[in-house]
Amino acid sequence: MTSSPQHWDAAYAAGHETRGWYQASAVLSRVLIRDTGLPHDCAVIDVGGGASVLVDDLLADGYSDITVLDQSTVGMQIAQERLGDRADQVTWLTADLRTWQPDRAYAIWHDRAVLHFLLGDDDVSTYRTRLLEATGPGSWAVIGIFGPEGPSVCAGLPVRQYDESDLEALLQPEFDIVSTTFADHVRPDGDVQQFLWGLAKRL
């Protein structure tokens, strides 16, 4: 089984609040985005955002230029319905990150959902290309990925684990890694997943 719009549409339709990735508030993402120190009118993109509540949190914090990119229309519809009229304040892009062509630069790139599902080196290289195409000097990347003690399968798909050296290989030399931290995500069923979070500034 591979990552596809059909897979994620079915996963979301089965009840997204029961799935392992669900979090009621994107607390750490929110903190790291604030740590960039950028003004709230900067352009933020959440790649693989789907039904994530990060968009709710960013709107609540006063961010006004938010884009959510995901290959699942069902996931984004859940977020749009939850936001109601506020959904009109967000740009919604339905695309596979691997084939998406960004038409602007973003000040903050956020990812808690895409990178660790890319198993092949070619796909990881494509991810890196998209990251560089969608950012510029002074932009920031906030990336959450499964750590070395993280799961080997998520949402029925195999995933890739990362350590700090892997993150450095992905981001350097274009990005300066400002901080890394390991944090546990507690799934709705009580299981714990180890995440590695990186905050990096593009040079």
pLDDT category of residue 18 using cuts at 50, 70 and 90 = low
CB 37 within 8 A of CB 201: no
- pLDDT of 23 > 60? The answer is yes
Q: Residue 194 belongs to what H/E stretch? A: strand 192-202
Q: What is the pLDDT of residues 160-169, one digit of tens each?
A: 999 999 999 9
Burial of residue 194 (number of CB atoms within 10 Å: 0-12, 13-18, 19+): middle
Domain boundaries, the chain: 5-202
Q: What is the pLDDT of residues 52-91, one digit of tens each?
A: 999 999 999 999 999 999 999 999 999 999 999 999 999 9
Dist. CA 201–CA 26, nearest whole Å: 21
- pLDDT of 191 > 60? The answer is yes
Q: Kindly report the backbone phi and psi dihedral angles of residue 143, in degrees, each rounded to the nearest multiple of 5, phi listed first.
A: -125, 125
Return the closest-CA partner of residue 156 out of 5, 20, 15, 18: 20
Dist. CA 4–CA 53, nearest whole Å: 22
Best CATH choice for the domain 5-202 from the list 3.40.630.30, 3.40.50.150, 3.20.20.100, 3.10.20.80: 3.40.50.150
Q: What is the pLDDT of residues 100-150, one digit of tens each?
A: 999 999 999 999 989 999 999 999 999 999 999 999 999 999 999 999 999
